[in-house]
Amino acid sequence: MAMRFRMEFPDFPVEDMPQIPAGFEDWSWHNDACPSFTDESRRLRLWIDYREPEKRDLAGAHRFMLTRLTSERDPDEYEDVLTESDDYSEILEAIASHSTQE
């Protein structure tokens, strides 16, 4: 996996990055709040915020968020939130569930 997030978020600890599911590519951009990974075939984006809540842009934000890309033409156009959690296993279940619904 290319680690673009390391360039875009140099202060994000590599050891805090969980295993990214197959099919997701690093779409991290420094103007976003945190690193993100996109699976264009499933139209999903996975956002992974800092482990420490005090480092997150939004107070009270969950560490992980899964969104659905709403634009067929531009994966950077905005998205619908599918789920948010501090438990990565819940996010992985949502990805698996979304994959079986297609």
- pLDDT digit string, tens, across residues 87-99: 999 999 999 998 6
Q: How high is the pLDDT of residue 96?
A: 93
Q: What is the pLDDT of residue 1?
A: 46
Alpha-carbon span 38 to 75, nearest angstrom: 8
Determine the pLDDT at residue 71: 67
Question: pLDDT tens-digit profile of 60-73?
Answer: 899 999 999 876 65
Q: What residues in the chain have per-residue pLDDT under 70?
A: 1-2, 71-78, 99-102
Put the strands of the sheet holding 64-69 in their side by side order. Answer: 25-26, 36-39, 44-48, 64-69, 79-85
Helical (H) or strand (E) element with 5: helix 4-8
The helix/strand/coil state of 4 is helix
pLDDT for the residue 75? 55
- Report pLDDT for 36: 95
